[in-house]
Amino acid sequence: MTNNDTPLIKMAGLKKVFLTDEVETHALSGVHLDIQPGAFVTIAGPSGGGKSTLLSIMGLLDTPSEGKYELNGHPSENLSVRERAQLRNKAIGFIFQSFNLIGDLTVFENVELPLVYRNTPSTKRRTMVREALEQVGMEHRLNHYPSQLSGGQQQRVAVARALVGKPLILLADEPTGNLDSRSGEQVMSLLKGLHADGATICMVTHDPRYLKYAERTIHLFDGQIVDETDPAVLEAAI
């Protein structure tokens, strides 16, 4: 973790209420959370506890019902849809459980896509894509299609796609959820290495085996932060 005292992520009094058939569901209830640059944070808790909702708001995919959210010092509540999309594309790299690769595109083209949306020049795109694939050990598969890769390899490509634009933070939503235990450990080792190189990572997981990779684990229950755990203590108890 860096010594920067200014949080990259700052949430204060965050609430999220979903209304369905006149029933109120409080997905988040008064969440206060700071994440410093260079941190590796996991968010743990039972299904339905608000983990993915919190990550969606953090990733500017959703908006809170109440409260404030700042990303790198920029308040998000008054951003237009277009401004949110632009900030999301530049500042945030997403890693999903289901990989979300496009089957008709090669590995290279999948990783290149965020840069296309940025209108990055083609020569620069080629260099950035190759660098990202080298980081995850998949440069030898750049002309393959997702269907020609294992689950673990597809997730490595998804990590490269998240990395390619050099985002401020990587948001990972159950990145090992569709993988066997061996592939899951490999992906977690990859994330640990990226963190060691300076990446800021926030990861949602339901698997206690992977909490040890983080510096800080936040436990979410019924939309509230109820505890923080030292991963070293947790690992000794597993």
pLDDT digits (tens, 9 = 90+) for 140-151: 999 999 999 999
- Express each pLDDT in 156-204 by its tens digit: 999 999 999 999 999 999 999 999 999 999 999 999 999 999 999 999 9
d(Cα 75, Cα 71) in Å, to the nearest integer?
Answer: 7
d(Cα 33, Cα 211) in Å, to the nearest integer?
Answer: 18
**Is-contact 27 67, C-beta < 8 A?**
no
pTM (two decimals): 0.89
The half-sphere exposure of 175 on its side-chain side, counting CA atoms within 13 A, is 34
**Domain 37-60+81-237: which CATH number of 3.20.20.70, 3.40.50.12780, 3.40.50.300, 3.40.50.150:** 3.40.50.300
Domain ranges of the chain: 37-60+81-237
